[in-house]
Structure 1
Amino acid sequence: MADDRYAALHAAFRWQVPDDFNIAEACCGRWARDTPKATAIWFDSESGCRAQYSFAQLQRAANRLSNALLAQGVRRGHRVAVLLPQRFETAVAHIALQQIGAVVLPLSMLFGADALAYRLQDSGAVLAIAACEAMPALREARAACPALRRVIVVGECPPACDELPWMDALQAEAASFRRVATRADDPAILLYTSGTTGNPKGALLPQRALIGNLPGFVASQDWFGFDPFDVQQPSDAIFWSPADWAWTGGLMNALLPTLYFGRPIVAGQGRFSPERAFALMAAYGVTHSFLFPTALKAMMKAGPRPAGQRLRLRSLMSAGEAVGEAVFTWCRDALGVTLNEMFGQTEMNYVVGNCRALWPARPGSMGRAYPGHRVAVIDEAGRECAPGEIGEVVVHARDRHGEPDPVFFLGYWNNAAATRAKFSGDPSSSWCLTGDLARLEADGTFWYEGRADDQFKSAGYRIGPGEIENCLLKHPAVANAAVVPKPDAERGALVKAYVVLADGHAGDAVLVAALQAHVKARLAPYEYPKEIEFIAALPMTSTGKVQRRVLRLQEQQRAQGGSAHRHL
């Protein structure tokens, strides 16, 4: 077990945030000048395509794309959607957009037309960079997105009107570019969070948010190959994670911090499987990884890794839901690493977690506040809870020294009311509310106790009921709907929908399949309800709000008691 050096490290930590900061320069520009031949991206696809790209190659491609984007009218502050899987071009797009001061709008390849249309409309995106596989849904969504003037298509597929092939766009441009100067507080990334009772909200992250993530990243990766008290020493780390680069986990916990430290990341394009995970880690000598609990459970159940696949894995982080004792023990015994769990949100990521190299990692705990972050548990009156009492996890806008914490988002896009509601007071000097419940022990260890609102996690994905309910309501057979988690041993929770039928419709297996297909076609695959129960009326408050809490409690009681109930 590691010595407990937490108190000294946390007390001594001070933020060093420059006035001027640019993600593209920090993650690529300086490395392209200092170590141009160093590998930035290893690409590996299911089809067998493999490639190696240096920081110099990444910079040249980004320069060409920056010039192409300017030629298409993209300017500082414009929102540009990036709809790509893990691949070299995704990293190129991020570097190119940050160089011109544009705002990156990462979008998942799993999104259907409705999900894409909402985010493109709300953000006012002027251009999209998309993979061929995403084009059917994007083309359907474009009809409702008048601001989206042009699409740059990555891959081999015939372009339609107002679509420009990636290679044509880049080959016409120079490989040199002078990036714009950006301030640390300038907007950089717009990430949409799942809505609880309404539509998803766009969390606008500044350039400095990457700096705010770094202490948590290196701590959760046991200092990422560096000595925590001498970070000037070289690191031989190689990173891989199956986390989608369109999400906070893949972007801020994997791609950008890895490149920030000048180390290579493996872009493994394709569906996750335990066999592929073991193969990628062995083939590329992966030393550090972020694996969500569902992935770890699948790998554990797959049995011993294939013979001959020797792993170099030295550190492993997991987040999204609690990891139990069995998975924790398997990671230690089968993978040879002590798992570090982590907690954060899109609005302020990487704030709590473990670091087995410097303090004991306790299985199932959220960990402790990472250096630079002031985190507490408060009661309904806003008072800090006594040790062991359950309350809401909150993160202060200023650290223990009174300095601004750079990890925080700038606010919700075009939603000042939601931004104000996220904080207990002035956003620059108050607690930021997470909506997550936990208890805090005297030694600073947090233990998760569930959500304070209606969001939930399913197989590592954060689910917001509002978007799914809105989608169901578009079906003519649905009069009303409420979505809640149903406890599940494998995924943590299943998406379950309670549906009130419209007149003239029968709740049978045919309709269940039709409603599931309806959601699958419009949202992400993980959002469709795995179970649908028809109900005469939803429980409502006196003001007409759905009481999802009642339904959620009902599902918990059924899971515990196994009482019979009718569902389809």
Structure 2
Amino acid sequence: MSSMLDKFVNRSDFDSYQDFKNNFKIIVPENFNFAYDVVDVYANQEPDKLAMIWCNDNNKEQFFTFKELEEYSNKAANVFSKLGVKKGDNVMLTLKSRYEFWFCLLGLHRIGAIAVPATHMLTSKDLEYRFERGNIKMIVSVSENELLDHIDQADNNTNGIVKYKASLGGNRAGWIDFLDEIGNASSEFDRPVGNQATSNEDISLMYFSSGTTGLPKMVEHNFTYPLGHIITAKYWQNVEDEGLHYTVADSGWAKCVWGKIYGQWICGSAVFVYDYERFDAQNMLEKAAKYGVTTFCAPPTIYRFLIKENLDDYNFSSLKYCVVAGEPLNPEVYEKFYKYTGIKLMEGFGQTETIVTIATYPWMEPKPGSMGKPSPEYTIELLNPEGKPCGAGEEGEIVINTRDGIPIGIFCGYRSDTEKTNSVWNDGYYHTGDMAWMDEDGYYWFVGRSDDIIKTSGYRVGPFEVESALIEHPCVLECAITGVPDEIRGQIIKASIILAKGYTPDDELKKELQEHVKSVTAPYKYPRVIEFVDELPKTISGKIRRVEIREHDSESSRKDELKSM
């Protein structure tokens, strides 16, 4: 068959970044539906083409062709329809990295229902908020008692908003055995027509953004969203037809659909799913080597653990390309990974609300720590606090200019929150809330969330630059930089540090780390306060919640003040 990719782009090959940026266009068909227009086309024309390899820590594995995914997702669509799920209904999926997630997601696309992926780590309070705000009609979950208990409790506390609860096996009271239903369902499902057919503007996917501040927002994407991830997969992750791409991501967060379905399949690459219970760097390396992963994507935290292993012990002859996102990459990690593998890590930036919007593309030489340059179809600008464009070297907020058109892949808004939507998307600009600066070569450098910027003694300090300095010291495994109120300086810099194995926290080590920061960056950026911790608060997608550290410090300060009164 002709290349699937060629159906959705004006060109697929480019000579340079500038050629790519100026001339790339996505072609959006009328009433595009990923399940029918990508998966089923493969299933009919290349039924044996590999779509997914799944494995776990119990030596179980499954290989799925596109024909099998067509059949299983048809079965899922029939199960949902049998239970009364209709176009526009919201169905939550707490399925970790079980392959049934893909059956369900595609099945919901077929019906025109809205998939609401969520992490399995949610508590009953988290779930109550999501059930009520998201008007969840049905939930499909892994069969784990603690999670099911939380779901039942949330269901009881929300007066039965959720009409149907299904789990992967088991005979729990009030729950449907989804595996049993799938087994008995027909593998044929006709594409809906008339008012039940999907249109490009219909909502297909909704995420409760993990956010580093505030309560989660309901991010809505429509049926054209998968096409935006052609940029993510083909031109940032550099996936190949007949390749095997591995993005480290649980199905509960948006990075999963960034790297485990949409763009990869359009480009002809199979996806690799490692369903592990607990992260272990050695196991991840063994699995990636065993199954022949060709392209790889993970957050910086994962790479920090990988480079501490003996990478010479693993056969990575199939591995050709690696990218990194989630938080900025520390140059120290980049250099060590390159030394061990000969592969240059290519950074990217985006949000739950977008696809990859800034990235280091194949024609570009990476600058360790830089996100790269703007994606085609995305007009990226940096604005200062007065709303004026920033010059080279000047720090500003990353915004997307949508005055001349809304790019494919950007969100439709926050559900049931017009005020919040308008607060970030107004006057033709979508405000990301992330701060950066651009160098003279046009590369963008992340500074931090606007909320995370520290103002100390008249200086503005982004957490990432101090964290990068600290991570170069061998004793630092992970760290987070925050600001602490100070009567004289306004704020002072605090470092919360997880130590690597073999190091003992003491005042002497604190002093050594402070001197280290002074030696590798501007002295005023050194942390005047250092706290050694066992863990850092993070979102479900692995981003450090600096706001939680600040809130904890503020609460402790208030308690100390009360004691002194």
Same fold (TM over 0.5): yes
Would the aligned equivalents of 2:378 and 2:400 in 1 still touch at CA under 8 Å? yes
Would the aligned equivalents of 1:24 and 1:95 in 2 still touch at CA under 8 Å? yes
Gap runs ≥5 in structure 2: 1-13, 454-462, 472-476, 483-492, 501-532
What is the match of residue 412 of structure 2? 410
What is the match of residue 321 of structure 1? 327
Selected match of 1:303 from 298, 310, 318: 310
Selected match of 1:360 from 343, 362, 365: 365
Do structure 1's residue 203 and structure 2's residue 219 form an aligned pair?
yes
Partner-residue secondary structure (3-state), 1:143: helix
Partner-residue secondary structure (3-state), 2:97: coil
1:248, CA displacement in angstroms?
1.2
Do structure 1's residue 380 and structure 2's residue 364 form an aligned pair?
no
Normalised to the residue count of structure 2, the TM-score between the two structures is 0.77
Show the 5 A alignment for 1:144-183.
144-145=157-158, 146-155=160-169, 157-161=170-174, 163-180=175-192, 181-183=197-199
Do structure 1's residue 274 and structure 2's residue 281 form an aligned pair?
yes
Do structure 1's residue 289 and structure 2's residue 296 form an aligned pair?
yes
1:195, CA displacement in angstroms?
4.9
Q: CA-to-partner distance for each residue in 1:522-567, whole Å, 9 max, x for gaps?
A: 999987978955535399xxxxxxxxxxxxxxxxxxxxxxxxxx9x
What is the match of residue 216 of structure 1? 232
1:259, CA displacement in angstroms?
2.5
Matching residue's letter, 2:253:
W
What is the match of residue 371 of structure 1? 376
Would the aligned equivalents of 1:107 and 1:116 in 2 still touch at CA under 8 Å? no
Q: CA-to-partner distance for each residue in 1:425-472, whole Å, 9 max, x for gaps?
A: 2xxxx11101111111233210111110259999999x9x9xxxxxxx
Distance (whole Å) between structure 2 residues aligned to residue 196 and residue 417 of structure 1: 19
Matching residue's letter, 2:322:
L
Q: CA-to-partner distance for each residue in 1:343-383, whole Å, 9 max, x for gaps?
A: 0111122100102x212111110110012211110112222
Distance (whole Å) between structure 1 residues aligned to residue 301 and residue 286 of structure 2: 18
Selected match of 1:103 from 108, 111, 114: 114
Would the aligned equivalents of 2:127 and 2:154 in 1 still touch at CA under 8 Å? yes
Selected match of 1:450 from 440, 448, 451: 448
What percentage of residue pairs aligned between the two structures are identical?
Answer: 23
Show the 5 A alignment for 1:427-446.
430-446=428-444
Distance (whole Å) between structure 2 residues aligned to residue 16 and residue 54 of structure 1: 26
Selected match of 1:390 from 374, 389, 395: 395
Show the 5 A alignment for 1:36-75.
36-75=47-86
Q: More relative contact order in 1 or in 2 (CA 8 Å, sep 6+)?
A: 1
Would the aligned equivalents of 2:234 and 2:267 in 1 still touch at CA under 8 Å? no
Selected match of 2:556 from 526, 535, 544: 535
Instruction: Say if 1:444 and 1:107 are closer, same or farther in 2 by CA, change over 3 A.
Output: same
Matching residue's letter, 1:111:
L
1:406, CA displacement in angstroms?
1.2
Matching residue's letter, 2:236:
S
Distance (whole Å) between structure 1 residues aligned to residue 372 and residue 67 of structure 2: 38
Distance (whole Å) between structure 1 residues aligned to residue 87 and residue 138 of structure 2: 13
Distance (whole Å) between structure 1 residues aligned to residue 541 and residue 17 of structure 2: 43
Gap runs ≥5 in structure 1: 226-234, 466-483, 492-512, 540-565
Q: CA-to-partner distance for each residue in 1:223-266, whole Å, 9 max, x for gaps?
A: x22xxxxxxxxx22101122112211122233332233332211
Instruction: Say if 1:524 and 1:213 are closer, same or farther in 2 by CA, change over 3 A.
Output: closer
Partner-residue secondary structure (3-state), 2:286: helix
Show the 5 A alignment for 1:219-234.
219-222=235-238, 224-225=239-240
What is the match of residue 426 of structure 2? 424
CA RMSD of aligned residues (A): 3.3
Matching residue's letter, 1:537:
R
Matching residue's letter, 1:301:
K
Matched length: 472
Distance (whole Å) between structure 1 residues aligned to residue 544 and residue 365 of structure 2: 34
Matching residue's letter, 1:320:
G
Partner-residue secondary structure (3-state), 1:203: strand
Matching residue's letter, 2:219:
A
Q: CA-to-partner distance for each residue in 1:375-400, whole Å, 9 max, x for gaps?
A: 110112222111111000011225xx
Normalised to the residue count of structure 1, the TM-score between the two structures is 0.77
Partner-residue secondary structure (3-state), 1:351: strand
Distance (whole Å) between structure 2 residues aligned to residue 45 and residue 391 of structure 1: 44
